[in-house]
Chains A and B, each alone.
Chain A
Amino acid sequence: MAGVQVANVSRSFGAHKALDNVSIDFADGGFYALLGPSGSGKTTLLRQIAGFDFPDAGRIAIGGESVERVPVEKRRIGMVFQNYALFPNMSVADNVAFGLSVRGEAKATIATEVQRALDLVQLGKLGGRKPHQLSGGQRQRVALARAIVTKPRVLLLDEPLGALDKALRVDMQIELKRIQREIGITTIFVTHDQEEALTMSDRIGILRDGRLVQEGPPEEIYDRPQSEFAATFLGDANIFRGNATGTGIRLPDGTTIAASTGASVPAGVKASCAVRPERIRISTSAAKPDPADANTLTGQVSKRIFAGNNSTYFVERDGQTLKVIVQNTGAERLAEGQSVVLSWSPDSTVLIA
């Protein structure tokens, strides 16, 4: 086991900068998600760490040892591919045994290690099957067993759950997390699914256009996004744009919004505020439901989407559509067209430079 340090790594393909001066420290034993839209460089970064491709500049270290020019087969990593990449000509057991067998391990050792790995992913009885006889979830588990049986220093996962259907994906998320905890391996996980990143990882790195936008624990990124992109890519957010006042921002129409978290921006400079839809309270009377809610706005409900345990209201206000999520507590539901008052606390408002 080992941590991974990525320092000032850049990689271009022709004129396209796939990675632009990216630095991340992956601590030993942690579970990291690299999150970003397609083309953000997250897979390129994973391939640099794996050693399929070498960076143009920068340093990559695994367990403190520089590896940026070491080919993949010498890096002692385990990788799970998006399409699983199981060898179709080999049985499940032979697939898992491959990494041990190319190292020239003794047959008896290989057999016990393979069985242990298959037991860990709960496929102990399917060693004799061929990959095409397995379901998608089972193939996923074989790919995982194959990647960890060699006791790699770091486990790399390239959108491993992307090909599974939703219910199976949730099962595999829990399973993957359990296995990762059990063997305590540093895990780096590429995904474009923000929910997956939030539920599974200890830390998230958000990438956009080859740059690291923000990195930290899921709660921190969700509660204190440092950019409009981070705020809207990880979860949903209402964004207000205006000029900083020192305690918040002033919107173009003169309304002020108080913010007590986020960046400190000198007064007068252009800035924005992000508010999560579930932090906003919606009511029909002018009286605030909570006196601590310093921020109030009025608007009109334009649309309501009922989703069982909650409802999403779209509220029109000065040409902007705001999103408000209300838990289904049995209270009266608001009709489309109704005038409403929105209120929320400055603590729920993040100032973004």
Chain B
Amino acid sequence: MSRLEKITRRTLLVGAVAVAGGVAFGTWRYRTPYKNPLLANLNKGDAALSPYVLITPDGITLITPRADKGQGAYHAQALLIAEELDVELDQISVTPGAPDMAYWNKALAEEASEFLVPAGGFMQDTAQIAVSAASKFIGLQITGGSTTIPDGFDKLRAAGASARETLKLAAAEQSGVPVSDLRTQSGAVILPDDSRLPYTELAARAATLDPVQDVPLREPSEWRLIGKETQRLDILPKSTGTQDYGIDMSMPGMVHATVLMNPSQGGGLGKYDTSEAFKIRGVSSVVEITGGLGIIADNTWRAIQGARAIEASWPKGPMPDTMEAHWQALSDSFNDSAADSRKRDDGDVDTALGSDAMTAEYRAPYLAHAPLEPLNAVVRVDNDGAEVWTGTQVPRFLQANVARLTGLSPDQIKVHGQMIGGSFGHRLEDEVVKQATEIAMQLKGTPVKLTYSREEDMLHDFPRQVAMARMRGSVKEGKVEAYDLSIAMPSVTGSQMARQNQTVPGPDSQIVAGAFEQPFAIPHHRVTGYRAPELAPISSWRSVGASSNGFFYNAGLDELIHAAGADPLEERLRLCNDPLSQKVLEAIGEMSNWSGPVPSAGTGRGVAFTKSFGVPCAEVVDVRQTEDGLRITDVWVAAEVGTVVDPVNFENNVAGGVIFGLGHAMFGEITYEDGVAEQENYDLYPSMRINQCPEITVRGLENGDRVLGVGEPPVPPAAPALASAIFALTGERMREMPFSEFVQFA
């Protein structure tokens, strides 16, 4: 075990054991803080100055507990700590740390409270406090909801500041120079004579001090790293093939495994014949696990070949037989008994609509997450503990699940977070870890590496929700007068949390997220959510409810604006009642040199706006007709995030989010026949390729007080902006995704 592993290993005895030479407090206190997990097993001379900063004579390690799945979370978290700690990014290493209560996600918990209450106001405030406390109690160390930056912005800087001031105190004791005459730079305390006391040499003394608390944070004008272009910590390994991901894990004695699960999710284990599998060289055993089989071999490919050689018949799962039945279930949900929430009801919608309202219906299909790294996990189960090596956004859930399966207690389960090759929400689920655990329980003491084939990964994804919306509206004197939007979908939150044995009472705000809270003062405006029954099991997909609702809301509004004879951008600006959102719309107009939906012959231009995860985001999309079909030529995108913490990551996440949103709107669809997904690899699940990629111009606005994350907000406006552009060019309304069913893309 490495020294660091030893240090970061979680133990419940932390408060009771004598800690050799170590002391630690957090500046992240929230009423009564959790104990600092780094205190366990500190060696003499090491200092864990908060749950996020570990200094040993060998070096400085920053703990970055939110998972990195490509969004640059390790880098951004390290940057926030380093800003106040006064270390250079090439002087530190980072580690995700172990699952621990101390790393709970407060920002996500506050977002989650939306699920529990029907409306804003006092009720919601009370619930938020309650949910914060409850989430803290269960220690939701979740990466999601674009919360890494909002959750960490103050907390991580404060951790760095506290460690810095404590190191200065140690330097003052050692040198006899008063703290007020000391400064810090590049991992050292600097004395008035310019001599340097490296942090690593001060660690032992710092460890004997009470860390300095409540240090004021630096003003933005003093920032060295925040808002500046820095080189991502992982850019060298990711450009040389030397970055290890979970799928690259190897260890002595490890066996390779894959699974053959019932292709009809939830159908359970059927009859099977393994005799052909054992003819494959290297296949050593086939074991039963929940819902399928684990195939063990001495090589990944041999395990996959073994799985393919098994003949099996599978019971059908609980899903409807046909895709038509899925849509019918949504259609049937627009009724009072399925009503879930009405979080917006302005004016008098029914009177304003009268008897000749415009109507339209919209559809959004199931979508796979399909990150490029197939799901994988290494698990070893022993009599007195278990270890898990995997990339995960939910380390605490995963730990609890492994404990439940093995009969061990959670503190006996060590989780080693790994770098993740893309997620988009895929790693919010932990089925692969449960399956690897079930296999490993049958091979006690042997590390089992479970790797999904691409086909297993897509067949057993829990996809983005399927959803349907109905719009009614009216216009008056060139303006949008009434807009009534009804949305039906199964509950993502309910489906996802049920797999973690958690129930979520009350309405699911994700059913209307990206629609009910939009900053448009339409005189008569209503948004109603209807909760369809669970059809396919579903999960969070980059931007969750807003991924379908951003399309629905903008598509309906676009039709009304057109009927009013108004300009799509001008009318949104006129209706907008939020100053920050208004600035985003003004910015997109200026960036794209907006002159209306047809900037020149043979082209079409569309605009859309969605506020999601607190971020107002607007996009303008240009399309052009070519001999080979429609081509997206340019996209402009503006997002308000308070502070752009890391401009490289910001640009990359925003442009990537646009491409993700456009690519799925163009081509993406998972359909089910007899309960089985019909798309099991990228040939049947296309997404945008480099030859289809437009020029993308990104601007981050920093007018607001709240610092917000941007992994998800660029996704929702992409599809409706494209739909609006296609309408401007062809006159055809895109009311259903994917659009490739109706138009040819070049």
A pairs with B: no
Which residues from chain A sit less than 8 Å from chain B, CB to CB?
none
Which residues from chain B sit less than 8 Å from chain A, CB to CB?
none
